[in-house]
Structure 1
Amino acid sequence: MALTEISQLSANLARISGVSMRVCDSQLVTVSLSGDDAALPVFRTLPAQPTQVERAITAQGDFLAVGIFTAATLTGYLIAGPCESESGSLAQILVASLVGAQQIATIHDDHIKVPPLTVDLAATDSDDDAAIAERYVKQNRLMQLITQGDTEQLPAAITAAVSVRDIEIFFSRVPNRRLRSAKNILYVFNTMCRLAAERGNVSPVTLDRVSSHYAMTIEQLPSLKYYQRLTTEMATQYCEIVAARRDNHYSSKVNQALQFIYRHYQEDLSLANVATAAGAAPTYLSRLFKQETGETIFEFINRYRVQMARQYLRHRPESVTDVAFHVGFNNVTYFNRMFKRYAGMTPLTYLRGSEPAIRG
């Protein structure tokens, strides 16, 4: 294919993938650019075969280079990047677009060398070791609260265990791939929370459903700015499930309604769909819920949404509006009013006392 033909193809690929595409000649001189003009990384080698993809891993993200061949002669390169998410599927798309859908991409990149493990059991603990020990204590405390279903003490424990300083340490475990590191940590955290909730006597079926939901959510995480929000949501969700299981003084209908609210509070809830989930008539459930909890169903929903909003605001989201919609409110003015009712202050006042977010 001629470079002029590839230029139109690269423009289409950039529009579909959201990743910048650059067509270069055989000397890496840019012929056309679709997207941002990011500085090209230094590729150790360049592709010499149609299905070969060279991947350069940088702090900006991954860059992919694919050869452009005309009658078996290399005439240039199509370079995609930076790509913040997993780039393997994009590499396959590039090869399929240039060579054919039946061809399989072969990716070459730098491999991370893992040093041999050495453990000195006789060594004296240093200050760094003490910090590690403290982190373990905080994490164990958080897991203990989930097992107990202690929703009152959980927010402070989350703040202590998921500090920006501690998290930044782990983001270097996969060099230059902070988002991949974050996802790996979240997978581990999801498993820890699941095991903690299991010790709280939550059924394996329920835990499998929740764990699977968060596994898919983690893999789709678009950027680091959502890391703390998702960590908070997971810990709170598992803890709430244990609490609901513990609250056996409620009737089965009210318990079913509570569990439905915990799982779907971000959605547009109505008395009808809560009642359907609980297997009860709306008027009957409304009366029973008020009798057993002391609140109407919507008072409980609003209070719980504000409780979740406080968790998210603690970790500085993009805006109060962003949080309002995330926790299920579709009107920011109403959210502000409910927040002040249940938290005793406005969301902005509460936000001023929150800790800084992770850089992404």
Structure 2
Amino acid sequence: MKKNRIQLICRILKTDIVYESSDGMLTAFFDILSQSPLIQSDSLRRILREGCEMQEAPFVHLDEHNCYFAAIKTSEGFLYMGPMCHQELKGRALSLMYNSYGIKENRYNPLPVFTLPQIRDMVNLTGLTVNEGSAEDEELIQISHIIADDDTRIKQEQVNFILHEEEENDYSAYRHSFREEQMLMQAIREGRPEDAVRLAENMDHDSGRLSKNYMRHLKNLAIIGIALCSRAAIDGGLPPESAYQISGYYIEKCDATENAANMLLYRNKAIMELAGYIRNQHESPSASNYSERCKDYIRKHYREKIYLQDIADSLGLSPTYLSRRFSKDTGECVQDYINRIRVYHASNLLLYSDRSLSEIAFYVGFPNQSYFGKIFKKFKNMSPKAYQDRYRSSEYIAKE
């Protein structure tokens, strides 16, 4: 290998070049090794090496940060180039790129910016220098999936989706409103799967860009949508373990596929399954029994400190769904019913026991006498003492 020529190319092109011999030894043709993904990331070199072994032409890899890396097979090993950028990376974007390859320093060197034809020519020039031959432009483009024309747009006819072109930090492009997102969550909670899918698909048209990489954008869109909908399903009454099982299954499907149509298809299937479960649960005759079972729990545990989460867990429901279901069935909230039961038992003790007001308050589950008096008056329209004085049997007083 002509090392002097490679050194010259490295200086002229201002891009890192690394040679890996057949025994795994690395030779760098630049100075700052600590900030080179090609040196620091074994996984990146493996991707480049495996891609290059599958074809005769140089292999070009585009990562999730829109940085290009190239691999050229030689007679005794591989020559790696990069990163080469089509758009400038700066600030947080630059830090994220370096961090993704395990590089963490206080300051990072800026990356050179090239046009796509320049990147293509650089790879060809280096390949010609190393192997005394180069791939044809069209072969390099097709095999490595490089878009040579800056005006070329990705088209996915299977997906009814529009990706807005926008500059970094440009928020002028329309995004779906918070109200639209809330409408989707409400459709899930109420068990309306068809409406939920329709709302999700409408929002796809107006979603903000989640990644500069189109496929990564779609994948993020699908995964985030499934995660949000699973939380809404839990609020709607779906047991958390069931929601996590459904969402986990479809998130794995989305993560594994590189087919754009399948990503949103899996998202829609997850929505249908989550909302469909809620609908079936609401239509079940046993749904109205949840409130009665909630009452039964309260009657058994009124003397203890009762949390809505504990009741919901005992019924296999989410606290939000249980609260909404109970209010719909009974006309009062769960906490009011708890207080009503406590006041009922306190009333009996006021009339038929010799316990003090503070003892009665603690016995029926109130934290202190003051709060007991406030809640008691809310239900009985008088204080505990006034109630006791008015209704306590004279016969019971005589027995004292």
TM-score, normalized by the shorter chain, greater than 0.5: no
Larger Rg: 2
Q: What TM-score does the superposition give when structure 1 sets the normalisation length?
A: 0.37
Higher normalized helix content (fraction of residues): 2
